[in-house]
Amino acid sequence: MKSPLPADGEKIGHFVSAAPFDPLSIETLNTEQKDYYLASQKRLMWWKFKLHKVAVGCAIFLGIMYVSVLFSEFLAPYNLNNRHIRHIYQPPQSVHLFHEGEFIGPFVYDTTYGLDMETLKREYPEDRSHIYKLKFFCEGDSYQFWGLFEANRHLFCVDKPGTVFLLGTDRLGRDMLSRIIYGTRISLTIGLIGVAISFVLGLVIGGLAGYYGGWVDLVVQRIIEVLQSIPSIPLWLAIAAIIPVNWSPVLVYFAISIVLALLDWTGLARAVRSKLLSLREEDYVLAAELQGASPQRIIGRHLIPGFMSHLIASATLTIPNMILGETALSFLGLGLRPPVTSWGVLLNEAQNINVVVIYPWLIIPVIPVVLVILAFNFMGDGLRDAADPYS
Amino acid sequence: MTTDLASEPILQREHVPVAGRDLLRVENLSIAIKTHKFELNVVKNASFRVPAGKTVALVGESGSGKSIIAQAIMGILPGAARITSGSILFRDPAMDQLEFDHAAERPDGIYMQSMRGSRISMIFQEPMTSLSPIHKVGDQIEEALTLHHKVSRKEARQTTIEMLGRVGFPDPARAYDMYSMELSGGLRQRAMIAMALICRPALLIADEPTTALDVTVQAQVLGLLKRAQQFLNMSMLLITHDLGVVANMADEVVVIYHGNILESGDVRTIFKEPGHPYTRALMAAVPDLATPCDERLKALREVDHVVPDMLYARERPKGDGPLLSVSHVSKTYKVRESSWLSSSSKPFLALDDVSLKVRRGECLGIVGESGCGKSTLSKLIMRALTADNGDITFHGAKGDIDVMTAKGEALKTYRRCAQFVFQDPFGSLTPRATILNLLMEPLEIHGIGTAQSRRKMAGDLVRMVGLDETVLNRYPHSFSGGQRQRISIARSLALAPELLICDEPVSALDVSVQAQILNLLNALRREIGLTMLFISHNLAVVRYIADRIAVMRKGRIVEIADRDSLFANPIHPYTQALLNAVPNTDPDSPLDFSVPDMEIQDVEMLWEEKYRCWSMPSPDTRLREVSDRHWVLSNA
């Protein structure tokens, strides 16, 4: 019979394919498969992460944010504490390209100061007679770059006496954009220090609970439950209140990260514990045990590599909590205090609803908070999906 | 089965298939699966048919594409797979002369939805996970009916109970209100079959329906499927790799390998005069109860092995007493039964007063169905569990070790002398370690050799199991099941143990790979004089490899004898039942499906009184020697 398929409803004949039998064909791999099967775990994770386009975009965004932390002085048009007493509560200036129908390139108009005598509101109408072109890599306020040398180059600025306040100014006439750029430095790094501490705490405490089980597990579980049941803001307030007022801003900064970390390890400890419990049931752990491996070896060689990637992914998801915690504490005036500048400290200015109604640009530091937290969450999701490349 | 189902309104609608027309014709079907790196053609130009009222078996190894063809017919292909060409023509007798092409229909369209579970239904391999644990069995079966037919509640319940009775539930009305966890594996598979048959499908796709079941249950379920097919006049597409099942069930056979159909024909033709070299190799590779035990099996893929010198040179125990003696060992598990008011635990006796001796250099086989305690026994011997009472003593080259109480150095020495091969080659290798790390690990733990000599040893070990030294840098996920099991064996032999315990080492592997592993184990055993404890539920496999065989049931050894004596003259009724339930690959000697098909609660009642050791325990229950070295459990 020529075909394996007999005619409709006919009796079946005997079909034997002419194809030879190659016993190894099912085991031989083509080059792409070989590539895939020979890849290490890290490479597989990278391939899987790359598929998650949003996560990759967020990772790039966060990368840019963190790199910017190194160059805050250069990126900000003005210095952190440079006051412009003639420009108090000035609203954001807009960048124009065309002046009277003619293309000029990016420039801002001059502003004049006036007081609305009815509302007593400061007003800064544009004075269209003067234009100030934006200049790039220009000289402006001088600063100590990385504490190493004096510099005065900025990414952009305008000639004096013109001003460029793209996000407006605050109560003391300081440029909001510059302050947000400087605030990024503190707000983004406080999360990392906090997460590093809570990572260690979570790993050790969760690991002990998961590996020893029994009463250790019981005690740890109850402590976690108690910690998680306390309303977080009052607890922060209580602990933050302990920090002596006369400490230097840097010390306060570390103290705040430790406070946040001390309360944040619980989620991670739970993740470690449950992962350990489930991995302990795997055959390969029993196999190592039956070879005579010691507990340290089993944990170090067989268990931890199995869930490290998960841990990193879940740690990424806790960084936003840290950032939010710092923002909340500083907003309430109990976290960082001026002259240290973080996004939370900036938002402290926007506590008064009257101020926010009249000078709405003071609330702008919320935008970077939201963006960074969303980015961390999306990236964490992508990492978590990639963490188990074999599924 | 005397009830006249014709009186049932739902089941009355009979559609007689049109003569001269196949029910299902798959023509030139190709399916590709896309991964993010490459697209694989998993089915290549496959054509076959399923005639009305007949059974067609699709036979192939894992990865041959047989399950994906079934998914394509049902319209449930996974998202990564797509049909690249061909057609799947289904002619439902209930739809007159119409013909639908399932390759062209939308999988979520009205036609496919009304077809799935109603005119074509499917039963899966794993009865443990196919039923929802939170709904009553009856409700789940009834749902399949009410989804496709307008029936009153009462009518639906009536039909469901009727169907439960038909698939062999002893008390169908009670079974309706039970939950799946209250049922045994065999009963769950029956419930699945009831669910698949409740709408009287024209085609039943059975994907490895009995692979997860014990042999005696398998025989009953196969009998049930055969009767249901005759009664409902339906066709069946049977997907399996078990040639014994094929020979007993199929009318036509289609052999598929790597996505290509290599042979098809009448069942008798295929088994009597297989035409394609692959079919012939497949048949020769599977041991059955008639395979000569001293010949090598003809594996599809032979493995050359080179035994490293250090395995020859290892210390061997002196004297000729037993290597391992297990005496009067019992083990109970506590089964927690908790309600929201109280929790109590009732003990479950997994091993009951088991004694056996393993002689030096022999291979002792342990056979039994799931839950008989064979794995518990192996774990006790490996000290992965501790027995309630009894003694286990290992008489090794380094003196006697009391396995149950050994600690510290003594336990470490024991670990070096006794090694274990797991059933599941996918779970027993750490996924994040390279093969080199895996093979060097036992040597590192026991401080054997230097870093350099360990590396060399790892190379010797992979060559011993027929792999190339280049695999050392690869990760376990890049190997097939058979290759992984070979790596497991290599690892277990790294310490040159005196005793090797293999717990179902070939059950998770394809039949085509089984022969390769069995040959390897057999050769290693002969060449280095290894003592082995080989645990399996497959009688043919145990018969091939073991010198002496112990049969276990419900925590006890019921019969223990030399291989030839046991197979020539099985005495205990349980051993006889096991032997009779093994399907033969000869279509001319089919299984006896006339045995009572009810899941009999107390099968012991059919036995001679002196063998009823569980229902009628007596202080005199013990193994008795009936002939030379042939012991049988009895009360008198």
ipTM, two decimals, is 0.79
In B, which residues are within 8 Å of A13 by CB distance? 265
Computed over every residue of chain B, the mean pLDDT equals 84
Q: Out of A15, A21, A288, name the one closest to residue B277 (CB).
A: A21
pLDDT digits (tens, 9 = 90+) for A145-201: 887 888 888 888 888 777 888 888 888 888 889 999 988 988 888 778 888 888 888
DSSP A159-178: -TT----TT-B-TT--BHHH
Q: Which of residues 135-164 of B touch A (CB under 8 A)?
A: none
User: Nearest-CA residue of chain A relative to B302?
Assistant: A23
Q: Out of A4, A26, A292, name the one closest to residue B48 (CB).
A: A4
Whether B252 has its CB under 8 Å from any CB of chain A: the answer is yes
pLDDT band of B69, cuts 50, 70, 90: very high
Whether B442 has its CB under 8 Å from any CB of chain A: the answer is yes
In A, which residues are within 8 Å of B51 by CB distance? 9, 12
- If phi > 0 it is left, if psi is from -120 to 50 it is alpha, else beta; for residue B584 that is beta
Computed over every residue of chain A, the mean pLDDT equals 82
* Model pLDDT, residue B15: 59
Six-digit token string for B35: 């991964």
- Is the CB of A16 less than 8 angstroms away from the CB of B275? yes
Read off the DSSP letter of residue A298: I
CA distance A222 to chain B (A): 21
* Model pLDDT, residue A191: 75
Six-digit token string for B523: 């050769």
CA A149, chain centre distance (Å): 30
- Is the CB of B412 less than 8 angstroms away from the CB of A9? no
| Three-point CA angle A53, A56, A60, nearest 5° | 140
- Residues B591 and B583: beta-carbon distance below 8 Å: yes
Q: Out of B37, B263, B384, name the one closest to residue A35 (CB).
A: B37
Lowest mean pLDDT of A258-267, A269-278, B238-247, name the range. A258-267
Q: Which of B202, B236, B201 is nearest to B222 (CA)?
A: B236
- How far is Cα B445 from Cα B439, in angstroms, rounded to an integer? 11
Which phi and psi angles does A170 have, rounded to 5°? -100, -165
- How far is Cα B57 from Cα B70, in angstroms, rounded to an integer? 12
In A, which residues are within 8 Å of B474 by CB distance? 37-38
In B, which residues are within 8 Å of A37 by CB distance? 474, 477-478
In A, which residues are within 8 Å of B416 by CB distance? 292
- How far is Cα B447 from Cα B618, in angstroms, rounded to an integer? 51
pLDDT surpassing 50 at residue B537? yes
Q: Half-sphere exposure of residue B414, counting CA atoms within 13 Å on the CB side?
A: 24
Six-digit token string for B327: 């005496």
Residue with more model confidence, B77 or A263: B77
Residue type, A104: I
- Is the CB of B430 less than 8 angstroms away from the CB of A284? yes
Residue in the block written with tokens 């108009």: A109
pLDDT digits (tens, 9 = 90+) for B539-560: 888 998 999 999 998 888 999 9
Six-digit token string for A134: 């934006």
In B, which residues are within 8 Å of A302 by CB distance? 430, 433
Whether A70 has its CB under 8 Å from any CB of chain B: the answer is no
- Residues A82 and A157: beta-carbon distance below 8 Å: no
- Is the CB of A283 less than 8 angstroms away from the CB of B422? yes
Q: Which of residues 23-62 of A touch B (CB under 8 A)?
A: 23-27, 30, 32-33, 35-38, 40-41, 47-48, 51
In B, which residues are within 8 Å of A14 by CB distance? 263-266, 269-270, 273, 275
User: Nearest-CA residue of chain B relative to A50?
Assistant: B36
Q: What is the mean pLDDT of residues B490-515?
A: 86
* Model pLDDT, residue B1: 36
User: Nearest-CA residue of chain A relative to B89?
Assistant: A8
- Residues A298 and A288: beta-carbon distance below 8 Å: yes
In B, which residues are within 8 Å of A283 by CB distance? 422, 424, 427-428
- Is the CB of A8 less than 8 angstroms away from the CB of B21? yes
- Residues B283 and B243: beta-carbon distance below 8 Å: yes
* Model pLDDT, residue B2: 36
Q: Out of B277, B300, B445, name the one closest to residue A291 (CB).
A: B445
Encode B383-409: b = buried (16+ Cβ within 10 Å), e = exposed. Answer: bebebeebebbbbbeeeebebbebeee
* Model pLDDT, residue A27: 63
For the beta carbon of residue B331, count every other beta carbon within 10 angstroms. 22
CA distance A307 to chain B (A): 10
Q: What domains, with CATH codes, occur in chain A?
A: 93-164 (no CATH), 178-386 (1.10.3720.10)
pLDDT surpassing 60 at residue B6? no
Whether A8 has its CB under 8 Å from any CB of chain B: the answer is yes
pLDDT band of A2, cuts 50, 70, 90: low
Which of A17, A28, A47, A49 to mutate to probe the B interface, most B CBs <10 Å? Answer: A17
- Is the CB of B441 less than 8 angstroms away from the CB of A288? yes
CA distance B512 to chain A (A): 10
Percent of chain A with pLDDT over 90: 7
Q: Which of B268, B265, B263 is nearest to B282 (CA)?
A: B263
Strand locations in B242-342 (E) = 252-257, 260-266, 322-338
pLDDT surpassing 60 at residue B501? yes
pLDDT digits (tens, 9 = 90+) for A222-233: 999 988 888 877
- How far is Cα B451 from Cα B444, in angstroms, rounded to an integer? 8
pLDDT surpassing 90 at residue B238? yes
Whether A306 has its CB under 8 Å from any CB of chain B: the answer is yes
In B, which residues are within 8 Å of A27 by CB distance? 301, 480, 483
* Model pLDDT, residue B10: 44
Per DSSP, helices labelled H in A39-113 are 41-51, 53-70, 72-75
- Is the CB of A297 less than 8 angstroms away from the CB of B422? no
* Model pLDDT, residue B8: 43
Residue A292 buriedness (CB in 10 A; 0-12 / 13-18 / 19+): middle
Q: Which of A30, A38, A27 is nearest to B64 (CA)?
A: A27
Q: Which of residues 378-417 of B touch A (CB under 8 A)?
A: 382, 384, 411-412, 415-416
pLDDT digits (tens, 9 = 90+) for B129-172: 778 888 888 899 998 888 888 888 888 998 999 888 888 887 88
The whole-model pTM stands at 0.78
Which of B40, B44, B262 to mutate to probe the A interface, most A CBs <10 Å? Answer: B262
In B, which residues are within 8 Å of A35 by CB distance? 37
Six-digit token string for A80: 């952190």
Q: Which of A236, A257, A259, A255 is nearest to A246 (CA)?
A: A255
User: Nearest-CA residue of chain B relative to A281?
Assistant: B427
Size of interface A-B (CB pairs under 8 A): 159
Which phi and psi angles does A248 have, rounded to 5°? -75, 155
In A, which residues are within 8 Å of B491 by CB distance? 287, 291
- Is the CB of B254 less than 8 angstroms away from the CB of A16? no
Whether A12 has its CB under 8 Å from any CB of chain B: the answer is yes
User: Nearest-CA residue of chain A relative to B501?
Assistant: A290
Q: Half-sphere exposure of residue B231, counting CA atoms within 13 Å on the CB side?
A: 20
Q: Out of A12, A286, A301, name the one closest to residue B264 (CB).
A: A12
Q: Out of B46, B263, B480, name the one closest to residue A16 (CB).
A: B263
pLDDT surpassing 50 at residue B11? no
- How far is Cα B575 from Cα B591, in angstroms, rounded to an integer? 16
User: Nearest-CA residue of chain A relative to B444?
Assistant: A293
In B, which residues are within 8 Å of A388 by CB distance? none
Six-digit token string for B369: 């169905």
Q: Which of B238, B170, B173 is nearest to B204 (CA)?
A: B238
- Is the CB of B37 less than 8 angstroms away from the CB of A47? yes
3-class secondary structure per residue, B568-589: HCCCCHHHHHHHHHCCCCCCCC
pLDDT digits (tens, 9 = 90+) for A310-364: 787 778 878 888 888 888 888 877 777 777 888 888 888 887 788 888 888 888 8
Residue in the block written with tokens 């223990």: B560
pLDDT band of B97, cuts 50, 70, 90: confident
